[in-house]
Amino acid sequence: RAAEAGKQIFCEKPVGFAPEPIAEALDVVREAGVQLQVGFNRRFDPGLQELQRAVRDGAVGELHNLRVVNRDPKAPPIDFVRRSGGMFFDFTIHDFDTVRFLGESEIEEVYAAGAALVKAEIGAAGDIDTALVMVRLENGALCVIDNSRQTHYGYDQRFEAFGSKGNLAVENLRPTSMVSSFEGGVLVDRPYPSFVERYREAFVAELRSFVQCVQDRSPVAVTGGDALAAVQAACAAKISLQENRPVRLAEVGQTAVGETV
């Protein structure tokens, strides 16, 4: 409706839960000639932007693997779990976009394992709260995504890129950088308590970028095609979890990715 009304669109991820309806929506956006930006906020995080630039510039040499740790501080309410679409679509979806962003390559294959280890109620609701996902990119790099719905120690967000020349890492951000060293041990602040604090700067940059694109009609930084690619990966992960096997994205519905819409 927004596209048909000629409105420029900023849409929260994942846009939808199946590739085909998303592809149809992108056709409408394209025909209407409006812009669509999707809310994958990590692409605007200064640390991840620098990591991507370093990988692109060859700092690690040939990229061998990426590692993403994404763990929430506290499990969500069961009512949210029931309407979330599942962990892969609500939570891991950011990680699928992150490995595409950092590796600058499309996802070729996904192999997922998961369980409800944090809360039995989550399992009873038909979802998982703990997952490990192995992703193979088309450029040959392997990626490991490590997810949990609950840490007790803060919002755990860590990223690594390893290659033929070395390793690069973006560590957890903390409220202060002070390190207290005493006879009894060494203390640092816990990571930020939630995504709001951790990605505050990224959220602001994300909206500024969208406004600028609307004003000057420049291409958006995160497209509907990026959303489609992440949803395809989430669908593949769901199939992989159910069938306990690697799933190629070519098996999953609409295969067109990388659209500029």
Q: Which domain CATH number covers 118?
A: 3.30.360.10
Asked whether the predicted pLDDT for residue 257 surpasses 90, the reply is no
- Residues with Cβ within 8 Å of residue 143, at least 6 apart in sequence: 65, 66, 67, 68, 99, 103, 134, 135, 136, 137
Asked whether the predicted pLDDT for residue 9 surpasses 80, the reply is yes
Percent of the chain's residues with pLDDT above 70: 97
Statement: the pTM of the whole predicted model exceeds 0.75: yes
Q: To 5 degrees, how large is the angle CA 147–CA 148–CA 153?
A: 120
Q: What is the pLDDT of residue 2?
A: 87
| Structural domain includes residue 234 | yes
| Structural domain includes residue 261 | no
Asked whether the predicted pLDDT for residue 258 surpasses 60, the reply is no
What distance, in Å, lies between the first and last C-alpha atoms of the chain?
16
| Structural domain includes residue 32 | no
The DSSP symbol for 59 reads: T
Percent of the chain's residues with pLDDT above 90: 94
Which residues span the domain enclosing 208? 41-244
| Structural domain includes residue 201 | yes
Residue 15 gets the label, from left (phi > 0), alpha (psi -120 to 50) or beta, of: left
Asked whether the predicted pLDDT for residue 236 surpasses 50, the reply is yes
| Structural domain includes residue 55 | yes
| Structural domain includes residue 2 | no
How many domains does the chain fold into?
1
Q: What is the pLDDT of residue 255?
A: 41
pLDDT, tens only, 159-200 = 999 999 999 999 999 999 999 999 999 999 999 999 999 999
| Structural domain includes residue 183 | yes
| Structural domain includes residue 31 | no
pLDDT, tens only, 24-51 = 999 999 999 999 999 999 999 999 999 9
